[in-house]
Structure 1
Amino acid sequence: MRLAVFGVSFLLATSALVHAQESAPAPAEAQTQAAPATPGGDPVVARVNGEEIRRSDVQRFQESLPEQYRSMPLEMVFDPLLNRVIDTRLLAEKAEADGIAAEPAVQAKVQEAQQGILRDELLRRAVDAATSAEQLQAAFDAAKGEDGFALEEVRAAHILVETPEAAKEIIARLDQGEAFAEVAKSTSKDPGSAQQGGELGWFTRDKMVPEFSTAAFAMEPGSYSKEPVQSQFGYHVILLEEKRSREPSLEEMREELFQENARKAIEQTVAEAREGVTIEKFNPDGSTPAPAGEAAPAEGGAAAPAE
Structure 2
Amino acid sequence: MKKTLIAGALACVFAASAVLAADIQVNGSQISQARVDAVTKMMSAQAQAQGQQADPRLPEMVKQQLITAEVLRQEAVRKGIDKQPDVRAEIENAEAMTLANQLIKQFVATTPVTDSDIKAAYDKLKAATPPKKSYHAQHILVKTEAEANAVLVALKKGKPFAALAKEKSIDPGSKGNGGDLGWNDAESFVGPFGDAMTKLAKGQISSKPVQTQYGWHIIKLDDVRTEAFPQMDALRPQLEQQLQSQRIQQYIADLKAKAKIQQ
* 1:73 paired residue among 42, 47, 52: 52
* 1:232 paired residue among 193, 196, 213: 213
Query: Is the counterpart of residue 245 in structure 1 residue 226 in structure 2?
Result: yes
Counterpart mapping for 1:1-307 below 5 A: 51-52=32-33, 53-54=36-37, 55-59=40-44, 71=50, 73-75=52-54, 87-88=68-69, 90-120=71-101, 135-144=117-126, 146-250=127-231, 253=235, 257=239, 260-261=242-243, 264-281=246-263
Cα distance, 1:174 vs structure 2 = 1.8
3-state SS of the aligned residue for 1:224?
coil
Counterpart CA distance in 2 for 1:165 and 1:127 is 64
2:16 corresponds in structure 1 to: none
Cα distance, 1:184 vs structure 2 = 1.8
Counterpart CA distance in 2 for 1:208 and 1:242 is 16
Distance verdict in 2 for CA 1:130–1:84, change over 3 Å:
same
Q: Which runs of 5+ in 2 are unaligned?
A: 1-21
TM-score (norm 2): 0.66
Distance verdict in 2 for CA 1:178–1:261, change over 3 Å:
farther
RMSD: 3.9
Cα distance, 1:240 vs structure 2 = 0.9
Between stretches 196-205 and 266-275, larger displacement belongs to 266-275
3-state SS of the aligned residue for 1:177?
coil
TM-score (norm 1): 0.58
1:58 alignment partner AA: M
1:239 alignment partner AA: K
3-state SS of the aligned residue for 1:115?
helix
Contact 1:126 1:265 (C-alpha < 8 Å) held by counterparts: no
Give the count of matched residue pairs.
230
Counterpart CA distance in 2 for 1:131 and 1:163 is 58
Counterpart CA distance in 2 for 1:220 and 1:192 is 24
Write out per-residue CA displacement over residues 207-238 of structure 1, whole angstroms, 9 at most, x where no aligned residue. Answer: 32332222211111111122222333333221
- Flag the structure with larger Rg: 2
Cα distance, 1:91 vs structure 2 = 3.7
Q: Which one has more relative contact order, counting CA pairs under 8 Å at least 6 apart?
A: 2
Contact 1:164 1:235 (C-alpha < 8 Å) held by counterparts: yes
Counterpart CA distance in 1 for 2:132 and 2:252 is 34
Cα distance, 1:97 vs structure 2 = 4.3
**Quick one: percent identity of the two aligned structures?**
26
Contact 1:164 1:228 (C-alpha < 8 Å) held by counterparts: yes
Cα distance, 1:162 vs structure 2 = 3.2
3-state SS of the aligned residue for 1:73?
coil
3-state SS of the aligned residue for 1:225?
coil
1:233 alignment partner AA: Y
Cα distance, 1:261 vs structure 2 = 3.8
Cα distance, 1:153 vs structure 2 = 2.2
Contact 1:220 1:240 (C-alpha < 8 Å) held by counterparts: yes
Counterpart CA distance in 1 for 2:153 and 2:57 is 70
Between stretches 272-281 and 115-124, larger displacement belongs to 115-124
Contact 1:158 1:198 (C-alpha < 8 Å) held by counterparts: yes
Contact 2:165 2:175 (C-alpha < 8 Å) held by counterparts: yes
